[in-house]
Structure 1
Amino acid sequence: MIKTVFWLNIPSPHQVDFLNMLESRDNVNLQVRYFDTLTENRKALGWSLSNNLSEFHQYIKDDNLNESLNELEGWQSSIHIIPGFSHPFLRKLLNVLIENNVQWIHWSEMSGKPLTKMLRYNYNLIKCIKPLFFLLNGYTSYAKKINKYGLGAFAIGKLAKDDFIQWGTKKNKIKYLYYSLPKLKKSSKSPFNFPSEKRIFMYAGSLTKHKGIDVLIKAFNKLKNSENWILVLVGRDNSNGEYKQMVKKMNLSQRVIFTGAIQNENMANYIGYADVFVLPTLFDGWGAVLNEAASLKKPLISTDRCGAAFHFIETEFNGFQVKAKSVNQLGNAMQYYIDNPLKIDLHGNVSYGLFKSFDLKSNVDLFIKNIKELCQRQK
């Protein structure tokens, strides 16, 4: 029996289904504890899941760590999954686990989003600064704790693993544990009233600079023979009207559609009617929307700063991974589908095959396998 506790900041639609399936396994005893509250931005995206959680999901009370631990029967014999050390609650928890010789595993995406934004996405400079950033901000010290006291570290993708190694985490302590989602189902009726001959490039998520929306609009503007193509931007516009002004100046107002905020539960109704899905992000630790688009059999275009792109995109087989911030590379990838429309369905089917390798069952099996291997290595 694997007895485990996940400590997470908030209930996430990118984690809840995985946790529910994990708890359903006969050989797993699972508890989940949340220590933070939803932001307004997350609520706007439809992340308010509190009313639909099973009993093993619980919020802690008033940041009271001792009370939370005492309510967990056998917490000292459980394996605790911890998403980092930046939150004060997590630092207290980590100290208690180490003092009581309790088993724990780190689990997170790639780090460094604030640094990336502060350095204005200058990736060469970021590469030079990152080792010092890790040292000064406690990551190097944290890696030493993982190596000495932890069972290991679960990386949410290749970019996270690369980070862990830069922190100083031993390679043999690192295993993968991804974000996994259920298969989405396309609705029977399109939310759009476009003529049937129209084709759709789609982005879904917050409309912000770090998602590369300006790069996407510029790339779309450069496309050739694209009269039958429309760009649909699904999500809350946080640019204070900047993107709509860009579109207007480019005379694209009839061909670039802003849907506004869409609840997460309705996302399949939109992505399902795209022809090609594009995530032009400048920084995404994972990018779970690629899971969603792959489950709906869409060709995928994303960047080398998106964690999921390294696992969900096989270039020229189901999409393209381009250099972040590159209007030309992004435009070339989009142009490929305009010039080769017969590839859209073929690439979409490959995306779905990749999705099945990262579905809920596969991720639960991976968790159990990796837990057993890390425990065996410690003996």
Structure 2
Amino acid sequence: MTNVTNWAGNVSFASALEAPRSVEELQELVAASEKLRVLGTGHSFNRIADSTGTLVSLAELPTVIEVGASGVTVSAGLRYGEITAALEAQGLALHNLGSLPHISVAGACATGTHGSGDGNGPLADAVNAITFVDASGELVTLTRGDADFAGSIVSLGALGVTVSLTLDVQPSYQVSQVVYDGLPVERLGTDFAAVMGSAYSVSAFTDWVDPDVMVWRKQRGHEPIEPTWLGAKVADGPRHPIKAMPADYATQQGGIPGPWHERLPHFRLEFTPSNGDELQSEYFVPRERAAEAFDALRALGNQFAPVIQVSEIRTIAADDLWLSPSQGRDTVALHFTWIQDEAAVRPVLAALEEAIAPLDARPHWGKVFVADAATLRQRYPKVPDFIALAAKYDPAGKFRNPYLDTYLPS
């Protein structure tokens, strides 16, 4: 295949894309390859998935969605939107979802993708078992509690090729979503706990210049609509995260209850995202330092203005996965959607990262950042352990690529 790009179109992959149709075929391909990486749904914005050798898609592997005593086991190439409806049909649910249901389960977990909610860990936190093909072509299965497990889930593709994941499930639940316009931006700092703790999942949208913030509150069950809240007013119609964009493809709002998988994402599954004319960055700081982060970002608002489309604020509960952005600490996630002009965005990123460096900010592995390897090793304390773990399963560096050589040098 030629002209393979990531979702945003800012990364083109030079290697041919292989799509094995069985696990055995995948094992043979891995064993025979000198260099190999996996390309999921392409929703990364840097070269984390690129390879100087073979690129592999898991989309053609046999579909597996099997509910058992340990949860639901799913084939790695499936998208979240493909498993959630199957779970709902059996009266089951996951703890949380990301903003897009179109991303692959394995890719989302491998890069630390998350939703929102003070008590909700990232998507990878639901994984209780993983099976992957190591560099020799052998299958390896690790379960929660195994010595290597915590380093194997948010793995950046460095340990092998994931074949399946087993996820914790719970009884299905309803969610109602209410959007508020006009939250005074100052309230993000002064009333942060009240804002982000006001529902099961909360997202706040701003550009750090506009004095008004839009807040999406997703509550389990039915949420009585408050006409006014912390100085904000309930929206008079559906909203898109970017104020100027039509809301046609956003999930149901207005406080109307519906199944968890049709409310927790921001966008409907039946909306297939086209290549996005955007770049994305995201940084994660300790939750108790949120107000300091907001002050720093507001001070940079005028620098953001020429290149920003929207910024989203979410919270994540602490987890123990080694390379997770929320490893070891309750976290606030600061997401930025930029215009697709990397030359214009990078100087802004440099100023942004400098401003929030004192807050121990961790950049998202799959998005655009300027931090170097030394900074990442400082911000992610388990990096040395992870590098040693990757060498255990891939001693010759088959799954390494220029990205890993740059940011996680062995």
TM-score (norm 1): 0.32
Q: Which has the higher contact order (CA 8 A, sep 6+)?
A: 2
Greater per-residue strand proportion: 2
Greater per-residue helix proportion: 1
TM-score (norm 2): 0.30
Which structure would you say has the larger Rg?
1
